[in-house]
Amino acid sequence: MDYASSETTVMPLDLLREITNDFSEERRIGSGSYGKVYLGVHQHGKRIAVKILYDMPGIDDEQFQNEFNNLTRLRQQNIVRLVGYCHNIQEVQVEYKAKLVLAEKTHRALCLEYMSNGSLDKYLSDECDRYDWQTGYGIIKGICQGLKYLHNELKPPVYHLDLKPANVLLDENMVARIADFGMSRLFRDEKTRATNSSLGTIGYLPPEYICNNLISDKFDIFSLGVVIIKIMAGHAGYFNSANMSSQEFSNVVQLIWTNRLLETSNLRKAYSEQIIKDDDLEELRELSSIDYKMVCHDGHEGSIATVTEYMVNGSLRTALWKNSKSLGRHKRLIIAMDAAFGMEYLHHKNIVHFDLKSDNLHVNLTDPLRPICKQIIGYVCTSFYLKSMPWIAFQKIGD
């Protein structure tokens, strides 16, 4: 999108009332310390977010002017774009000392592009069906690009000073846009500044601000770190991370995303079982000791690819190498029994594997009590030279 050609327009108060159903509760999509946000829908279907600032004498004009001035300067794909504004003064009758008198009421609104997927905050709860790893990485990258623009590409730079998941909005493609610049500040020559203002949100404030009221670009970077941890581990994972070593936290994050990958894999399995109807694949489905997923034919020479159940720890050889200290005799016995049961099943079907080795046994060690080991069924080979030497029976070597 070409943001350089965008123009900010004046939006009449009557028009804002019309497109938000008179600022009805049904159209309210958010709220904050300084105002409420409503969904505005034009007659031709275009949607915008209308932020109505609270009427708070003493700080309202400053708040409105600060956010308006900063937003009009911002033109970058990871920053929410300002599309219009309203500053309307009306005379209204109010009761004063038991009499009706005329008073001025100021309506201030900022109209922003509408982000259909809402704020990042709602995707961080454990109850929410969240995004995949690639989308999460894209969100982190988008926030970083937005901050790089604010800190390094603007002259003078802008410091947001209230970066948190609620102020990161997501468009229809889950692209991150930084929003809510009500607390933002312009920094000219100085790199650090002392302030008496109340800034940011508890949990996202750096120690130099908490202890000494100092603000700099490091304020946003600290907040960014908190946001990244919550994207990776969720709210619960973030709070538990304070009592973990870096390695323990890495293990927790890996487990979280591994489980999510497995859940996705199970959904794909259910879907593939519903749509595959090829009778010619019944034998392959029956013989596989790993849950069957999908078979794909491709190319003019009729090549075939099988997609099978994902075993999170990969081959038994790799798992033994990486987890040798944590695999006690009990777990090793269970793995050996799984392999034996798999061979018993194949031999009952009069099938000889011909290439059984630790690379062709895959394991899932995520259950601390019950590891799982399953065999990978490859193509049946008859040539001696295609086998793996250390695993060949001595009678075959002697033939």
Q: Residues 140, 147: contact at Cβ < 8 Å?
A: no
Taking the domain 1-114, which CATH number applies? 3.30.200.20
Please indicate whether the domains covering 1-114 and 116-243 agree at the CATH topology level: no
Q: Residues 11, 87: contact at Cβ < 8 Å?
A: no
**162 is a catalytic site residue:** yes
What sections of 76-167 are H helices per DSSP?
A: 133-148
Type of residue at 276 = I
For residue 342, what is the enclosing H or E element?
helix 329-348
- Between CA 138 and CA 146 the distance in angstroms is 12
Res 290: pLDDT: 43
Q: Please return the burial class of 147, using the count of CB atoms within 10 Å of its CB with bins 0-12, 13-18 and 19+.
A: buried
Q: Where are the domains of the chain?
A: 1-114, 116-243, 256-398
Token pair of 358, please? Answer: 């630790």
> CATH fold of 116-243, please?
Transferase(Phosphotransferase); domain 1 (1.10.510)
- CA 167 from chain center: how many Å? 14
**Tens digit of pLDDT per residue, the chain (399 long)?**
333 334 668 889 999 999 999 999 999 988 766 678 999 998 788 899 998 887 766 555 666 777 788 788 888 999 999 989 888 877 777 777 777 777 777 888 889 999 999 999 888 875 555 678 888 899 999 999 999 999 999 888 889 999 999 999 999 999 999 998 877 776 665 667 777 777 888 889 999 988 888 888 899 999 999 999 999 887 777 877 777 888 888 888 888 787 777 766 555 555 455 544 444 444 434 444 444 444 555 555 555 555 667 777 888 887 777 777 677 777 787 788 788 878 877 787 777 777 788 888 888 887 766 778 787 755 444 343 444 545 555 455 445
- Which residues are CB-neighbours of 353 under 8 A, at least 6 positions away? 343, 346, 360, 375, 377
67-69-71-74 Cα dihedral, nearest 10 degrees: -140
Type of residue at 205 = L
The DSSP letter of residue 22 is T
For residue 241, what is the enclosing H or E element?
helix 217-241
Nearest one of 308, 357, 365, 299 to 335, comparing CA atoms: 365
Res 171: pLDDT: 93
Q: Residues 98, 196: contact at Cβ < 8 Å?
A: no
Q: Residues 311, 339: contact at Cβ < 8 Å?
A: no
Token pair of 360, please? Answer: 């062709």
DSSP collapsed to 3 states, 50-67: EEEECCCCCCHHHHHHHH
Catalytic residue among 121, 162, 180, 220: 162
Q: Please return the burial class of 385, using the count of CB atoms within 10 Å of its CB with bins 0-12, 13-18 and 19+.
A: exposed
Q: Residues 310, 257: contact at Cβ < 8 Å?
A: no
Q: Residues 345, 289: contact at Cβ < 8 Å?
A: yes
Q: Residues 38, 28: contact at Cβ < 8 Å?
A: yes
Helix (H, G, I), strand (E, B) or coil at 151: helix
Res 27: pLDDT: 93
Q: Residues 10, 84: contact at Cβ < 8 Å?
A: yes
Res 60: pLDDT: 57
The DSSP letter of residue 108 is E
- Between CA 185 and CA 151 the distance in angstroms is 11
Nearest one of 301, 300, 338 to 319, comparing CA atoms: 338
Type of residue at 68 = F
